[in-house]
Amino acid sequence: MDSATQFLLGASVAGVTLGRTLGPRALLIGGILGTLPDLDSFIPMGNVIDNMTYHRGFSHSVLILTAASPLIAGLLSRTIGALKDKFRLTLLAVWLCLVTHPLLDSLTTYGTQILWPFGNAPPGLTPVAFPAVFIIDPIYTLLLLIGVLVFWRKREPGYRVLVGTLAAATIYLGFGMVGHLSVKARAESHPAFQGKAVHVQPTPFNIVGWQILGVDEKEFVSALTGIAPGCAIVPVQRGSRGAEPPPDAQLPDSVKRLEWFTGGFFSYKVDGDTLILSDMRMGFSPSFVFSFKIAEKIGGLFKGIEPERNAANTSRSTAVGRLLSKVFDTLKTCT
């Protein structure tokens, strides 16, 4: 999720656990703790593919964060007088603020290596991704924001509001998880997706409209539907996938890691003398969000280059606008 939402989640968790002890100060402590795991995004990993695939790695490991929790809790209990004799409560608050970050991230498409260092590289377990919410969801964020603001202004009555909004936000995620399971079951039984690996996720900024992607060794199929069981599955695209690079292509080592990172939902495409590798899970062909130039043709063979982001054919805002327009049309089929 975006950093603002992670700050608000950490603030909400700390407010609920430590709010009656520290008051509004708990919100700031929790917000900082809730954003700590994303500091790994400032660590250069070598190239744009590695920056993507190593993000949400060690710093998002539930094992690492659990081990770090007593150290942070000890520091807080020693430096904040009100927490001096409340180490266990402080430890619980710190642990919850830290681990809810990767757990929330694992409910998005990108994927999170919550069990790092186990299965943190191919051919190990792929990053955990159970898409139940889009990476930016205004409703979820607004619920958390309301609780934090009310508690900041009015401590005791605000505490009850904070508990309520955190509970409501969690229930909202639950609806997204149920939606994921429902849409995936419907897609897997649909004729267009028979014999294909299926990936489903919410469309931008909501959990009402859903995007479906199916791939096999030869082709991909994409579609849209609504969260309600009575919504039709509306085809969007069908085309050749490009499951393998050209024969004898010499590719950078990062390529295999990106294939692994996507859980198999990737495609190769030759564009003139350039070879492009795309994560197919976000966006629609040919405008994928994570698309990289990985090789160029020299002397009749593709030779690896320093990976670089491939510019989308259309702007991000235009692509999202078109997608949401299609989602709105799709939702008209729901009964």
Contact 60, 101 (CB under 8 A): yes
Measured from the Cβ of residue 284, the count of other Cβ atoms closer than 10 Å reads: 18
The mean per-residue pLDDT over the stretch 286-307 comes to 92
Residue 240 lies in a domain: yes
> Are 76 and 203 in the same domain?
no
**Residue 180's pLDDT is what?**
98
**Residue 154's pLDDT is what?**
86
pLDDT tens digits along 15-61: 999 999 999 999 999 999 999 999 999 999 889 999 999 999 999 99
The mean per-residue pLDDT over the stretch 69-88 comes to 95
> Are 14 and 47 in the same domain?
yes
> Are 128 and 21 in the same domain?
yes
Question: What value, to the nearest 5°, has the Cα angle with vertex 113 and ends 108 and 116?
Answer: 165
The mean per-residue pLDDT over the stretch 304-321 comes to 84
pLDDT tens digits along 137-158: 999 999 999 999 999 998 888 9
Quick check: 204 pLDDT over 90? yes
Domain that residue 137 falls in:
3-178
Residue 41 lies in a domain: yes
Token pair in block for residue 233: 């599955």
The mean per-residue pLDDT over the stretch 187-214 comes to 96
pLDDT tens digits along 230-266: 999 999 999 999 999 999 899 988 999 999 999 999 9
> Are 111 and 200 in the same domain?
no
Total structural domains in the chain?
Answer: 2
Say which range, 221-235, 251-265, 308-322, has the weakest mean pLDDT.
308-322
Residue 183 lies in a domain: no
> Are 137 and 267 in the same domain?
no
**How far apart are alpha carbons 59 and 37 in whole angstroms?**
5
> Are 208 and 164 in the same domain?
no
> Are 48 and 91 in the same domain?
yes
Confidence band (pLDDT; 50, 70, 90) for 313? Answer: low
> Are 286 and 228 in the same domain?
yes
Residue 188 lies in a domain: no
The mean per-residue pLDDT over the stretch 295-301 comes to 92
> Are 164 and 212 in the same domain?
no
Mean pLDDT of the chain: 94
Sign of the four-CA dihedral 188, 260, 3, 27? positive
DSSP 197-237: EEEEEEPTT-SSEEEEEEE-SSEEEEEEEESSTT---EEEE
**Residue 21's pLDDT is what?**
94
Confidence band (pLDDT; 50, 70, 90) for 118? Answer: confident
Residue 190 lies in a domain: no
The mean per-residue pLDDT over the stretch 288-305 comes to 93
The mean per-residue pLDDT over the stretch 306-314 comes to 84
